[in-house]
Structure 1
């Protein structure tokens, strides 16, 4: 239960757990009106709390977190869906800053071969503060395309592509304001990022991947990868001849659904399993296994890059939405990480996938206390890191007399979550198997 720090409230939840009495209900708050609210309302034994009522679980937006986290006292059992400074990974400029620092640390302490494993994000600069560094890099490859993104906005807002420096002169001017002008409203920070000009195309269209990673602790780091996800396609065939057409270059659903010929029934998404089958048929299983192993590397390295700066709190967990772009060479690139990935469905299939994802997120967070803490799989989630890499127990690869362990990840593979949950979880009163 959560109360203001000054209230001195003491709940009985922890005592009941010790006595083995369990808890008849979980009181939750939710500031979202989409699929997460549906999941919470249909969770057996969970009760919705309005306004200032006492709660055990809070699915809040980052605005609520910013305004209330430091003023709340939380009992041992309470859970909230964000880490306090989640933005170290989810704000575009800070993500790159932390990845660059982590790569330099690996170069220095382990070696350049290890540092090279962080070579999965495009060349990026923060503007206006790194404008001069950006210009130096820009001049090394004249004619190349760059993409400008506000560091703290989402859904494609404020993004544009450019080839000429004159197109961003306003940022240089704002970054060199005189002292007497700096009391005015602060300049919005952007990142200038080298645009991936050779994206992998399907049907002539660009796409990126949305993948879900759940972190339940940073100290030690404990991270889960969800088997389902999707590819988001642009609605228009790809071309570099027109860099001003957002329908060509931005795959965000918020952008694509405004296209004149957008079909809401069809949408612009493939489920991850469909994409994996397509790539396997075209390139073979070995190439696809390598690709998904490289994608796993992105998740782990990005989380390790912020492990020491994220303020770990036992009350917090985070469901990240990773955006990954593939190029023609089947190299994956990290575009950004979202702290509040969209939970609003764009189709019935999309709703069902997100509903399963959120149900399993609650299963892992385990407010009901049904897990042992030693599970390597819960529903559609596979434990991929637990203070070190997690490997599959039933799979290994032998090459030239050496046995290689296989990572415990199954992105885009069969998600037989219902069967797994039936084996894993004992039903609690009123629970209907999903």
Structure 2
């Protein structure tokens, strides 16, 4: 259990049978994680954890468990699990880019270049080793540029390095692909070579990126929710492009930053998105920031559309994605990657409380208790942004659909009065008193 655990008491009593509590059917859950989600599940009214060999209604599993077990289990109508079977189509770096390139190509074919340009939000990327020769051609066309190499299926900054010389990558290629153990191409680990964003937006001289949460409850039809809260993750070292070997300068992952000798988790390593949005508005004006956040919304929608015909849509599944977005100095947002298992481990008390609320609201949207009607446009901190088509705010001008006039039902970095909203939306459990 987390050291930041709240003092909130459980709202139910066990009757000893593990089936009914206070006259209401119990939700039996299984959880393979030891982090904030464990706390949330244990303090959920009328939910009870089961052992490995017992039946469950809800399973918060890791992707390894899913890969080994999904095709071998029977799930009843009411059962829910927190990953889609082939989630990796969006969350593996090489497959994400492959799907985005295909989607962009189809847009250009069907609607022309202006529509396809709406997908110009990911850096020039090549999958290695399969696209190595294409990468070399592009590299030689832009001498002196900085590139970044990333393992396609790893996270937390593992295996990442920056380079400017082709010799650096040819030496790496020789070491990585030509060992005795990897003569069989099937055993060669996939990487992506990506053009590095050389002009990141800096705050106090430090690089940062945004971690934003998107919840998908269906791919066919596509139904996606955007969480209002999130955070900006700062590097521990002031940015200088001339130095490319300092991972604490270039990689904002907390798992990387906390290895810095002078790392202090309480020292402005994270800003809540509300704080960042206020800062950017004060510096650049409301109109500029509104445009920026509309472009970020576009990244979410387009990236999901790029895989919605590829992902195996199973009615039992949902997915909480962690999007990593980087801003350049022109306030253009770039999609860096999408995480299927965003870290739920807190780095501070404030971080724990934010993630606790996020996970509570994820369970509220998934609605194992059957308290929603299915027509809601907001549940706690989640706003419905796509439901088989764009979702608009209640005050949107539906007569005009130009990009400068319509308003999507998204409130990223805005006030999150979730407790008030939930008290009006959700019917209390039978044994709970109305506030």
TM-score of the aligned structures, taking structure 1 as reference length:
0.91
Aligned partner of 1:193 in structure 2 is 194
Q: Say whether 1:60 aligns with 2:81.
A: no
Aligned partner of 1:37 in structure 2 is 38
1:373 Cα offset (Å)? 0.2
Aligned partner of 1:94 in structure 2 is 95
Aligned partner of 1:314 in structure 2 is 315
1:183 Cα offset (Å)? 3.8
1:300 Cα offset (Å)? 0.2
1:126 Cα offset (Å)? 0.8
1:168 Cα offset (Å)? 1.2
Q: Deviations over 1:45-75 (max 9, x none)?
A: 0000111110000000000000000000000
Instruction: Give the number of equivalent residue pairs.
Output: 414
- CA distance, structure 2, for counterparts of residue 401 and residue 181 of structure 1: 53
- Cα distance 1:401–1:305, how it changes in 2: closer, same or farther (>3 A)? closer
Q: Deviations over 1:154-184 (max 9, x none)?
A: 0001100000011111454378759997348
Secondary structure (helix, strand or coil) at the match of 1:235 reads strand
Aligned partner of 1:406 in structure 2 is 407
1:188 Cα offset (Å)? 1.2
- Cα distance 1:184–1:295, how it changes in 2: closer, same or farther (>3 A)? closer
- CA distance, structure 2, for counterparts of residue 85 and residue 370 of structure 1: 29
Aligned partner of 1:6 in structure 2 is none
- CA distance, structure 2, for counterparts of residue 412 and residue 293 of structure 1: 12
Aligned partner of 1:47 in structure 2 is 48
Q: Say whether 1:265 aligns with 2:266.
A: yes
- CA distance, structure 1, for counterparts of residue 45 and residue 179 of structure 2: 60
Secondary structure (helix, strand or coil) at the match of 2:416 reads coil
Aligned partner of 1:394 in structure 2 is 395
Q: Say whether 1:131 aligns with 2:127.
A: no
- Cα distance 1:361–1:104, how it changes in 2: closer, same or farther (>3 A)? same
Aligned partner of 2:232 in structure 1 is 231
Contact 1:82 1:317 survives alignment (8 Å): yes
Contact 1:44 1:430 survives alignment (8 Å): no
- Cα distance 1:94–1:234, how it changes in 2: closer, same or farther (>3 A)? same
- CA distance, structure 2, for counterparts of residue 299 and residue 360 of structure 1: 19
Moved over 3 A (4+): 170-181, 395-404, 429-434
1:403 Cα offset (Å)? 9.4
- Cα distance 1:400–1:26, how it changes in 2: closer, same or farther (>3 A)? closer
Contact 1:229 1:412 survives alignment (8 Å): yes
- CA distance, structure 2, for counterparts of residue 397 and residue 313 of structure 1: 33
Aligned partner of 1:18 in structure 2 is none
Secondary structure (helix, strand or coil) at the match of 2:370 reads coil
Matches within 5 A, 1:196-275: 196-266=197-267, 268-275=269-276
- Cα distance 1:315–1:185, how it changes in 2: closer, same or farther (>3 A)? closer
- CA distance, structure 2, for counterparts of residue 41 and residue 234 of structure 1: 34
- Cα RMSD of the aligned pairs, angstroms, is 2.3
Q: Deviations over 1:215-262 (max 9, x none)?
A: 000000000000000000001100012100001000000011111111
Aligned partner of 1:143 in structure 2 is 144
Contact 1:129 1:175 survives alignment (8 Å): no
- CA distance, structure 2, for counterparts of residue 337 and residue 226 of structure 1: 15
Aligned partner of 1:24 in structure 2 is 25
- Cα distance 1:236–1:181, how it changes in 2: closer, same or farther (>3 A)? closer
Q: Deviations over 1:117-161 (max 9, x none)?
A: 000000000111111000000011100000000000000011000
Q: Say whether 1:110 aligns with 2:104.
A: no
Aligned partner of 1:77 in structure 2 is 78
Deviates further, 59-68 or 255-264: 255-264
- CA distance, structure 1, for counterparts of residue 396 and residue 84 of structure 2: 34
Contact 1:174 1:187 survives alignment (8 Å): no
1:431 Cα offset (Å)? 4.8
Q: Deviations over 1:254-284 (max 9, x none)?
A: 0111111111233510000000000000000
Secondary structure (helix, strand or coil) at the match of 2:384 reads strand
Deviates further, 140-149 or 22-31: 22-31
- CA distance, structure 2, for counterparts of residue 261 and residue 177 of structure 1: 38
Aligned partner of 1:119 in structure 2 is 120
- CA distance, structure 2, for counterparts of residue 329 and residue 227 of structure 1: 24
TM-score of the aligned structures, taking structure 2 as reference length:
0.91
Contact 2:126 2:135 survives alignment (8 Å): yes
Secondary structure (helix, strand or coil) at the match of 2:276 reads helix
1:186 Cα offset (Å)? 1.4
Runs of 5+ consecutive residues of structure 2 not aligned to the other structure: 1-22
